[in-house]
């Protein structure tokens, strides 16, 4: 049976901030994302192999084994990116009914990944659009950034990119980069107004396409994936930006903060 997919409603790079203000979301094609962020696609593609080494997510309450994950936290302001000591990822039950209210200590992102110049360029671009859309006269603001590398696989049949269902994250901006998609069907992105009837559905299929969301205004989810060939998977990079601090208690692990990194 054929699977119906909907093309993403792409935004031009110069219209990203305006689209976020007016509609609460923006979607960029890989080429436009590269122009908008100042990152060459070849540089971005060079970090994609890092997703092959992700360890299992040990905190899935549905008992699944379909998600692999790494996590890291940063502070970004005025072009300066500083990795902070490793800490738990925490969300309130209000935003994540399945996994909220618990400290989840995911494996940290590797030093090799976060040391690449393209990494700080990406975070600086995201902080810049946050300044333009959310900070107002306070720009450049200090943004507390969490990054998550995900691989959703289909080894056991179905993989669930958002097992918690349609949700918000309790932050200012959510950025979802599609890193790779191999041998799967499904994985449709759905975004809805939190306080209205409007919504969109589309499938991100091109590596390094990007969806940006105003988290206060929009609810989002991604439908399950199923294998078209053995070993099919979907890789994403999810980055959230929040003013005022990270969510949860100020607890950190024993991984020291990385050195300050200034985007070129």
**CATH no. for residue 40?**
2.60.120.620
Q: Are strands 25-28 and 80-83 parallel, antiparallel or unpaired?
A: unpaired
At residue 235, does pLDDT exceed 80?
yes
Average pLDDT of the residues of the chain: 89
Q: Are 225 and 184 in contact (CB under 8 A)?
A: yes
User: What local confidence, expressed as pLDDT, does residue 60 receive?
Assistant: 80
Give how many domains the chain has, as a whole number.
1
Q: Are 233 and 179 in contact (CB under 8 A)?
A: no
Per residue in 156-198, pLDDT (tens digit) is: 899 999 887 888 899 999 999 999 999 999 999 999 999 888 8
Q: Are 203 and 5 in contact (CB under 8 A)?
A: yes
Per the domain annotation, does 259 fall within a domain? no
Per the domain annotation, does 250 fall within a domain? no
Per the domain annotation, does 159 fall within a domain? yes
At residue 250, does pLDDT exceed 70?
no
Per the domain annotation, does 263 fall within a domain? no
Per the domain annotation, does 7 fall within a domain? no
Domain hosting 98: range is 15-243
Per the domain annotation, does 121 fall within a domain? yes
How many Å apart are CA 55 and CA 33, to the nearest integer?
28
Per the domain annotation, does 204 fall within a domain? yes
| Residue corresponding to tokens 């056991």 | 156
User: Considering the chain, what percentage of its residues have pLDDT values greater than 70?
Assistant: 88
Per the domain annotation, does 251 fall within a domain? no
What is the Rg, in whole angstroms, of the alpha carbon atoms belonging to the chain? 17
At residue 118, does pLDDT exceed 80?
yes
User: What local confidence, expressed as pLDDT, does residue 241 receive?
Assistant: 98
pLDDT band at 100 (very low <50, low <70, confident <90, very high): low
């Amino acid at each position: 049976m054929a699977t119906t997919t909907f093309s993403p409603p792409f935004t031009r790079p110069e219209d990203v901030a305006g689209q976020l203000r007016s509609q609460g979301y923006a979607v960029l094609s890989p080429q436009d994302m590269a122009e908008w962020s100042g990152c060459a696609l070849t540089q971005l593609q060079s970090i994609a192999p890092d997703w092959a080494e992700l360890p299992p997510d040990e905190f899935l309450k549905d008992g699944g084994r379909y998600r692999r994950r790494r996590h890291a936290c940063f502070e970004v302001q005025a072009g300066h990116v500083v990795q902070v000591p490793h800490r738990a990822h925490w969300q309130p039950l209000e935003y994540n009914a399945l996994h909220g209210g618990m400290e989840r200590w995911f494996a940290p992102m590797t030093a090799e990944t976060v040391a690449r110049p393209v990494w700080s360029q990406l975070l600086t671009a995201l902080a810049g659009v946050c300044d333009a859309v959310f900070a107002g006269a306070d720009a450049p603001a200090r943004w507390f950034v969490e990054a998550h590398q995900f691989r959703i696989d289909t080894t056991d049949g179905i993989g669930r990119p958002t097992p918690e269902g349609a949700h918000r994250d309790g932050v200012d901006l959510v950025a979802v980069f599609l890193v790779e998609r191999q041998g799967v069907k499904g994985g449709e992105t759905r975004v809805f107004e939190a306080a209205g009837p409007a919504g969109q559905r589309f499938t991100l299929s091109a590596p390094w396409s990007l969806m940006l969301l105003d988290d206060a205004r929009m609810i989002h989810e991604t439908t399950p994936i199923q294998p078209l060939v053995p070993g099919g998977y979907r890789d994403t990079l999810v980055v959230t930006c929040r003013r005022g601090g990270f969510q949860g208690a100020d607890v950190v692990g024993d991984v020291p903060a990385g050195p300050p990194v200034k985007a070129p």
